[in-house]
């Protein structure tokens, strides 16, 4: 099964048909790059990308 990402917040959706963070049903399998954020409060990458919750995120989605 292909990985699905939320088009709104870019987090990976592992199960179901909606985003676990923002509840959006607008998902895609087309993405470029991936980043794992463990401690968003102390991560410069998370701050730059506007990520506030730990998880796996796409860098760009279509």
pLDDT at 37: 98
Task: Delimit the domains of the chain by residue range.
Answer: 4-61
Tell whether domain 4-61 is in CATH 2.20.28.90.
Answer: yes
pLDDT of residue 28: 97
pLDDT at 1: 75
Confidence of residue 6 (pLDDT cuts 50, 70, 90): very high
Distance CA 57, CA 53 (A): 10
Prediction pTM value: 0.91
Helix, strand, coil distribution of the chain in percent, nearest 5? 15, 35, 50
Calpha distance 38→49 (Å, rounded): 14
In whole angstroms, give the CA distance from residue 33 to residue 44: 17
| Averaged pLDDT, 8-14 | 97
- What would the mean pLDDT of 46-50 be, rounded to a whole number? 96
Q: What is the pLDDT of residue 50?
A: 96
Which pairing describes strands 4-6 and 55-61: parallel, antiparallel, or unpaired?
unpaired
């Amino acid at each position: 099964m292909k990985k699905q990402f939320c088009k709104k917040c870019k987090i990976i959706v592992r199960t179901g048909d909606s985003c676990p963070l923002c509840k959006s049903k607008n998902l895609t399998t087309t993405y470029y790059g991936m980043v794992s954020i463990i401690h968003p409060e102390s991560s410069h990458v998370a701050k730059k990308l506007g990520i506030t919750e730990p998880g796996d995120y796409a860098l760009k989605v279509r």
